[in-house]
Structure 1
Amino acid sequence: MSDEFGQEQAIRKLGPGKLVIASHNAGKVREIGELLAPHGIETVSASALDLPEPEETGTTFIANAELKAIQAADLSGLPALADDSGLCVDALNGDPGIFSARWAGPDKDFRLAMQKVWDAVEARGPDAGRDAHFVCALALAWPDGHVEAFEGRVDGTLIWPPRGHKGFGYDPMFQPLGHAISFGEMEPDRKHAMSHRADAFAKMVAAVF
């Protein structure tokens, strides 16, 4: 992180204690809680604190993660961690990208979202590739407005029909490179070891703990 003069500033450390997970997505809150458990962090979700969901007006994953984390930290008076993540499909020029949740509609129907993604790829013709990647941006904010951000990625291919019920979101249609099963078929511990969220977490843990 740099200051206004372009000089590198030390990354702020996070000590044991309570941390707000700035998300109303139960699957995401659970996964983040599992990743934080070994570090002495007690998590509480934004929904449990009845915090509002901000409008995601950023144009990047990190911008959206930062605005969610900063609002949650300001309203709760506690450090807050926000995640903004999504599926980026090469054949769709990176869509759904930062709009991944919106493709699921107001009811957060990811079966519908996966169908929309697959239909869009199929509409590109038989030569359209199936390459895709997940991106996860993590933003850690403190009540005084300080924020640190980290980004992770995992590459893979789209599969159809979707397989597995162990993940959430687009997991059942995403098969990571080097593996023969989808994220939806993977046991949580295995996914946590190599996912986009795990990649971002590894960078955050190395920096702030």
Structure 2
Amino acid sequence: MRLVLATRNPGKIAELAARLADLDIDLVSAADLGAPEVEEDADTLAGNAEKKARALLDFTGSPSLADDTGLEVDALDGAPGVRSARYAGDDADDEDNRRKLLADIAGAPSRTARFRTVLAYADADGVRTFDGVCEGLIATEESGTAGFGYDSLFRPAQGDGRTFAEMTAEEKNRISHRGRALDAFVRSLRSGE
């Protein structure tokens, strides 16, 4: 089966490819097919993921997989959430977003947070979504060089005190939000649901 990935993020593509490696799936990136960018303007992660998956299915005619991920910080009432990639502004990069997050929660009594991923799989039968959540804490400073986004600030509760950016890809994938959503997606593919 050919599966078109909506993401253009090399880090996400590598994570998805590793998780789906044992299935008979030919992964293709939207960028490789010249698919247009889809504006992520929905109010929810699920809304953005579904919008991207449907648009890619319409463009390619092939089953498509899209995701949206957000970091929800309790001290910020769930922000940055659906705006995680644009938290410091529409033209911000990962470093800008991390810097803003640290400034916004400086002195907060709680640093609890969670990463949430919603995967949307679109095919001729419609769209199905798969959720994954990873609870943790926001560190007081960056640590580690692996990963992307907020990985150098997020210490998962199931970990050993290291940030995602201090873990190998395999370690991160075993406990991450995206890994959990992918596990649910893979179970669905294997069961034929």
Amino acid at match of 1:163: S
Q: Which of 112, 120, 126 is the aligned partner of 1:146?
A: 126
* Pair 1:148–1:127, CA change in 2 (3 A): closer
For structure 2, the residue ranges without an aligned partner over 5 or more in a row are none
CA distance in 1, matches of 2:29, 2:7: 6
Asked whether the equivalents of residues 162 and 173 of structure 1 are also in contact (C-alpha less than 8 Å), the reply is yes
Asked whether the equivalents of residues 87 and 97 of structure 2 are also in contact (C-alpha less than 8 Å), the reply is yes
Written as runs of structure 1 = structure 2, the 5 A alignment for 1:1-209 is 17-103=1-87, 105-107=89-91, 109-122=93-106, 126-142=107-123, 144=124, 146-178=126-158, 179-209=160-190
Identity %: 40
Offset at residue 104 of structure 1 (A): 5.1
Amino acid at match of 1:25: N
Higher Rg: 1
CA distance in 1, matches of 2:161, 2:41: 37
CA distance in 1, matches of 2:79, 2:134: 16
Offset at residue 55 of structure 1 (A): 1.2
Query: 4+ residue runs of structure 1 moved beyond 6 angstroms?
Result: none
For structure 1, the residue ranges without an aligned partner over 5 or more in a row are 1-16
Asked whether the equivalents of residues 158 and 173 of structure 1 are also in contact (C-alpha less than 8 Å), the reply is yes
* Pair 1:145–1:51, CA change in 2 (3 A): farther
CA distance in 2, matches of 1:44, 1:95: 32
TM-score of the superposed pair, with normalisation by structure 1: 0.86
Give the number of equivalent residue pairs: 189
TM-score of the superposed pair, with normalisation by structure 2: 0.93
Q: What SS does the corresponding residue of 2:133 show, helix, strand or coil?
A: strand
Equivalent in the alignment of 1:10: none
* Pair 1:31–1:104, CA change in 2 (3 A): farther
Q: What SS does the corresponding residue of 1:184 show, helix, strand or coil?
A: helix
CA distance in 1, matches of 2:108, 2:56: 44
